[in-house]
């Protein structure tokens, strides 16, 4: 059986995650424009910060997932990591649609809280396989917590 190239595997999963982020951004581009017109809570960074941070986080997501795919010693561990990755990435994608695309700020806050739990579970699942892969998810987890503050602030400031 041919061994997988770590570089190709890592590049694939990084590009995959960046593609998911790009698709979500494309689908929510009108909502992103509307974001400029709503009230935002204190500590909201300039809009240019968001694509930079999310690009970095998506790279870390892909890198971490590639590591666990490459290092998992058994199929059960690999399956758990894959499920955790898929769940949190689905949460991320849908949160972008709910928040930016549809402007469902209250629902998005609840969804984001669940996403934080999913990222926490993913981080724990990764830790069993690779401490580095797990640690690569910590900035994502922290940013999601900050995003929850921003999300709830937007909801509270823009309720009808």
DSSP H or E segment with residue 4 = none
Which CATH number applies to 6-157? 1.20.1260.100
**Residue ranges of the chain with pLDDT lower than 70?**
1-3
- pTM, 2 dp: 0.93
DSSP H or E segment with residue 36 = none
Residue 24 main-chain phi, psi, to 5 deg: -60, -40
Q: Look at residue 3 in the predicted model and tell me its pLDDT.
A: 62
Domain ranges of the chain: 6-157
Q: Look at residue 1 in the predicted model and tell me its pLDDT.
A: 47
Q: Which of 6, 42, 71 is nearest to 150 (CA)?
A: 42
Task: Please state whether 43 falls in left (phi above 0), alpha (psi between -120 and 50) or beta.
Answer: left
| CA dihedral for 87, 92, 93, 97, sign (positive or negative) | positive
Q: What are the tens digits of pLDDT across the range 66-95? A: 999 999 999 999 999 999 999 999 999 999
């Amino acid at each position: 059986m041919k061994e997988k190239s770590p570089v190709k595997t890592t590049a694939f999963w990084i590009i995959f995650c960046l593609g998911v982020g790009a698709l979500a951004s494309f689908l929510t581009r009108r909502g992103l424009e509307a974001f400029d017109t709503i009230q935002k809570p204190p500590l909201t960074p300039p809009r240019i910060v968001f694509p930079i941070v999310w690009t970095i986080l998506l790279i870390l997501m892909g890198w971490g997932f590639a590591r666990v795919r490459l290092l998992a010693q058994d199929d059960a561990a690999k399956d758990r990591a894959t499920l955790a990755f898929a769940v949190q990435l689905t949460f991320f994608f849908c949160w972008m649609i709910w928040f930016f695309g549809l402007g469902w700020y209250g629902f998005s806050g609840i969804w984001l809280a669940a996403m934080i739990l999913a990222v926490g579970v993913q981080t724990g699942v990764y830790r069993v396989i690779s401490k580095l892969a797990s640690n690569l998810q910590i900035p994502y987890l922290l940013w999601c917590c900050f995003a929850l503050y921003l999300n709830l602030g937007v909801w509270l400031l823009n309720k009808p």
